[in-house]
Structure 1
Amino acid sequence: MQIYGLKNCDTCRKALKALAGAELIDVREAGLPEGLLARAEAEFGGAILNTRSTTWRGMSEAERAGAPLDLIAAHPALMKRPLIEADGKLYLGWGKDTQAALGL
């Protein structure tokens, strides 16, 4: 099981602690595997973009108008976190729905 996020993100750390044996992959340092972000966008749509982040709030309207995948490629902190891949299935965020789907 892989958790894609940021090593200094509290939510990602909570997910890592709760999911024994999971591996945290820092998207700022390692990036995302080829095609994973496109798969996530196909499944979650615009929800993949974290519009509550300080990075988003610091962007101009013109910058925000870009395609979500391009924005995340340029600013990895804009990806909603964590993005969890388990047994070929993707989960986004660390809400009660994700925790229940993962058996927690």
Structure 2
Amino acid sequence: MITIYGIKNCDTVKKSLKWFEAKGLDHKFHDFRVDGIDAKTIEGWLGDVGGKILINKRGPSYRNLSDSDKAVLENDGGAAAAILAANPTVIKRPVVDFGATRTVAYNETRWSELAGI
């Protein structure tokens, strides 16, 4: 089962969900705000894709973080996962989990490859 992580009012997440529905791919949506997200899951994502890809430094959520939290996020360590778990809107969206592989951001071409369509 494909899991799409994000927040329901994000335009990119909405667009992603529509794409998966249009392709008839079995998926579920995990809303960071409603369902939460744990640091262990985020640690795995950081290990898979790294902080440069996972962390959205362009949004207001990142700008509102303390300077010390921003400094921790620069180091990609375990403490970064805890900060992201407490502030999940700093995570780029969507994170799409195909089981063995995860993608970050909207990417129809990559999703098609991973889904075998």
The answer to whether TM tops 0.5 is yes
* Within-5 A mapping of 1:23-34: 23-32=28-37
Name structure 2 gaps, 5 residues minimum.
73-78
| 8 Å contact kept, 1:49–1:68 | no
> Where does structure 1 differ by over 6 angstroms across 4 or more consecutive aligned residues?
none
Q: Which has the higher helix share?
A: 2
% identical equivalent positions: 28
Counterpart mapping for 1:1-104 below 5 A? 1-20=2-21, 21-32=26-37, 35-46=40-51, 47-66=53-72, 67-94=79-106, 98-103=107-112
Where in structure 1 are there 5+ consecutive unaligned residues? none
Matched length: 101
| TM-score (norm. length: structure 1) | 0.84
Shift of 1:34: 7.0
What TM-score results when the alignment is normalised by the length of structure 2? Answer: 0.76
Choose 1 or 2 for highest CA Rg.
2
SS at match of 1:41: helix
Write the letter of the residue equivalent to 2:87: H
Root-mean-square deviation (Å): 1.9
